[in-house]
């Protein structure tokens, strides 16, 4: 093992975690033979120890009881209003107007666009890299002209709807699985309920009622939305 | 309450949807701690962490959002929501540089850590508290993508696979980011990592309350 390779495993070695036993044995032998890497391992072990101390110390931290009381109040109000207005919902993907509902309804369209016309001007196809899709895609400051084909989410943002007045960047949909390298996606414009915005980190103003807002969905080949962008 | 506390998340969600208050409480008490700590370590702000917890659970109260038990755990779903709120907070608070030097007010009134023995040497406990505060400050100063993996995998001791599902990225990305994050952390904590001649006995908090 070379010093550079050792640097790539030293922290996992120090924590004795998720490291192949054979590699761990080779790395330990290297640390014993190489004074520099031996020092690195000792430092990594001290770091692991103090991070573990910090982790244990942090376990006392929790939201104050006031938050639970406030949420319970909200829970009671929500269910009181449901009793008077509609039957209780089951959990899962909502039909018709939720993110999933919108995506499912358009999945076939998205898939068709994806495979039928990758170079058609009105169907921006995204070759999303896993790294870029795992984080938010920055929205352009100005609308850019449409392109025939795009290869990154950022390009997709520019290619889609040049007339769009964007209110946000793409925000990952929680637990949507992200993108693998080479995955494709399309951008589909839909209307979504205002209350769904809370999942994306937007404040939901209860006084604005249960209206809808326009949004662009970044939909994967499987029909599931990966990221959402709000449109004014 | 004791009955509900032992039920699986999926059953509690069914009950919650039917208006069962105990089910909501059980879910809240099971998941609020990790979410709160995650948000606190990411933002360094107590009020931001409280807001993140509140907004994440409001999604459940409003009807569970698009959580589908078939696609993963509720914890990962809630972390995903919390992550979006944290990101938005950090964006809005871009000028914030972290690393405030404050007293231990943020930790006050929250009781002893479960690991801490009441009969433990008080000096040792203070040293632990100070060490923890130094680590938190160092974590807060990391770039967001590295702070996330350290917070989830090291401070919350989340498995790589679970962290990968929360962050929507492959396990390999978690590993490489974590390795880089630990290198940066070691650099920032070099003084702390060196053997110290004598213990200091004043604990400080890395978290800011306003």
CB contact under 8 A, B136 and A100: no
Same domain flag for B115 and B85: no
Q: Are residues B70 and B114 in the same domain?
A: no
Residues B65 and B103 in one domain: no
pLDDT beyond 50 at B113? no
pLDDT at A142 over 90: no
Same domain (yes/no): B67, B111: no
Contact A11 B173 (CB under 8 A): no
- The answer to whether residues B43 and B117 belong to one domain is no
- Asked if B52 and B104 sit in the same domain, the reply is no
Note whether B130 and B65 are same-domain residues: no
Q: Who has greater pLDDT, A47 or B117?
A: A47
Domain residue spans of chain A: 3-58, 91-231
DSSP string, chain B: -HHHHTS-HHHHHHHHHTT-HHHHHHHHHHHHHHHHHHHHHHH-BHHHHHHHHHHHHHHHHTT-TT--GGGS-HHHHHHHHHHHHHHHHHHHTTT------B-GGGGTTS---TT--TTS-HHHHHHHHHHHHHHHHHHHTS-HHHHHHIIIIIIS---HHHHHHHHTS-HHHHHHHHHHHHHHHHHHTHHHHSPPSS------BS-B--
Contact B155 A51 (CB under 8 A): yes
CA pair distance A206, B105, nearest whole angstrom: 33
Q: Are residues B2 and B47 in the same domain?
A: yes
Q: What is the CATH number of the domain that holds B21?
A: 1.10.1740.10
Compare CB distances from A175 to B32, B165, B179 and report the shortest one's residue: B165
- Say if B96 is an interface residue toward chain A (CB within 8 Å): no
> Does the beta-carbon distance from B19 to A59 stay under 8 Å?
no
Question: Which residue in the set A18, A60, A177 is minimally distant from B160, CB to CB?
Answer: A18
A156, A114 contact by CB (below 8 A): no
Q: Which residue of B has its CA nearest to A83?
A: B19
Q: Do both B203 and B173 map to the same domain?
A: yes
**Residue A16: pLDDT band by 50, 70, 90 thresholds?**
confident
Q: Are residues B135 and B189 in the same domain?
A: yes
B59 at A interface, C-beta within 8 A: yes
Instruction: Chain B: give the shortest CA distance to residue A109, in Å.
Output: 21
Mutate to test the interface with B, among A16, A40, A44, A61 (most CBs of B within 10 A): A61
Domain final residue pick, B70, B96, B122: B96
Count of the separate structural domains present in chain B: 2
For residue range B115-174, list pLDDT tens digits in order. 344 455 666 667 777 888 889 999 999 999 999 999 999 999 998 988 998 888 899 999
Q: CATH number of the domain that B108 lies in?
A: 1.10.10.10
* ipTM of this predicted structure: 0.76
> Do B80 and B117 fall within a single domain?
no
Among the partner-chain residues A43, A57, A78, the one whose CB lies closest to the CB of B128 is A57
pLDDT tens-digit series, residues A182-228:
667 778 888 877 777 777 777 666 666 667 788 888 887 777 777 88
B107 and B85 housed in the same domain: no
Q: Which domain holds residue B135?
A: 99-210
Quick one: A19 exposed, middle or buried, by C-beta within 10 A (0-12, 13-18, 19+)? middle
């Amino acid at each position: 093992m070379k010093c550079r390779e050792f640097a790539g495993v030293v922290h996992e070695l120090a924590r004795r975690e998720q490291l192949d036993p054979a590699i761990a044995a080779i790395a330990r032998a290297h640390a014993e033979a190489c004074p520099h890497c031996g020092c690195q391992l000792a430092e990594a072990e001290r770091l692991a120890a103090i991070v573990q101390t910090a982790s244990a110390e942090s376990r006392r931290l929790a939201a104050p009881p006031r938050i639970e009381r406030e949420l319970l109040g909200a829970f009671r109000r929500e269910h009181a209003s449901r009793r008077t207005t509609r039957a209780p919902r089951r959990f899962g993907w909502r039909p018709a107007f939720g993110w999933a509902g919108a995506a499912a309804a358009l999945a076939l369209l998205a898939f068709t666009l994806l495979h039928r016309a990758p170079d058609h001007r009105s169907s921006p196809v995204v070759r999303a890299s896993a790294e870029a899709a795992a984080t938010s895609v920055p929205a352009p400051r100005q609308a850019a002209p449409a392109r025939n084909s795009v290869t990154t989410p950022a390009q997709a943002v520019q290619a889609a709807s040049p007339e769009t007045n964007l209110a946000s960047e793409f925000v990952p949909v929680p637990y949507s699985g992200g993108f693998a390298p080479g995955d494709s996606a399309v951008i589909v414009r839909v209307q979504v309920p205002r209350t769904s915005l809370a999942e994306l980190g937007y404040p939901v103003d209860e006084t604005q009622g249960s209206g809808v807002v326009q949004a662009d969905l970044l939909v994967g080949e499987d029909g599931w939305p990966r990221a959402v962008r709000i449109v004014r | 309450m004791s009955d509900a506390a032992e039920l699986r998340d999926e059953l509690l969600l069914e009950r919650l949807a039917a208006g069962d208050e105990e089910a909501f409480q059980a879910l809240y008490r099971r998941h609020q701690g990790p979410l709160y700590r995650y948000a606190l370590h990411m933002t360094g702000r107590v009020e931001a962490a409280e807001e993140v917890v509140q907004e994440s659970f409001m999604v459940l109260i409003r009807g569970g959002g698009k959580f589908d038990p078939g696609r993963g755990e509720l914890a990962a779903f809630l972390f995903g929501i919390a992550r979006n709120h944290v990101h938005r907070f950090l964006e809005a608070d871009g000028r914030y540089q972290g690393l405030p030097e404050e007293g231990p007010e943020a930790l006050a009134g929250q009781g002893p850590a479960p690991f801490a023995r009441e009969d433990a040497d008080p000096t040792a406990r203070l040293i632990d508290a100070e060490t923890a505060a130094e680590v938190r400050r160092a974590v807060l100063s990391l770039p967001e993508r590295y702070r996330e993996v350290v917070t989830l995998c090291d401070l919350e001791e989340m498995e790589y696979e679970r962290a990968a599902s929360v962050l929507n990225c492959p396990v390999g990305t978690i590993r490489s980011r974590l390795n880089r994050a630990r290198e940066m952390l070691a650099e920032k904590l070099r003084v702390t990592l060196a053997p110290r001649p004598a213990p200091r006995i004043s604990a400080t908090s890395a978290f800011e309350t306003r």
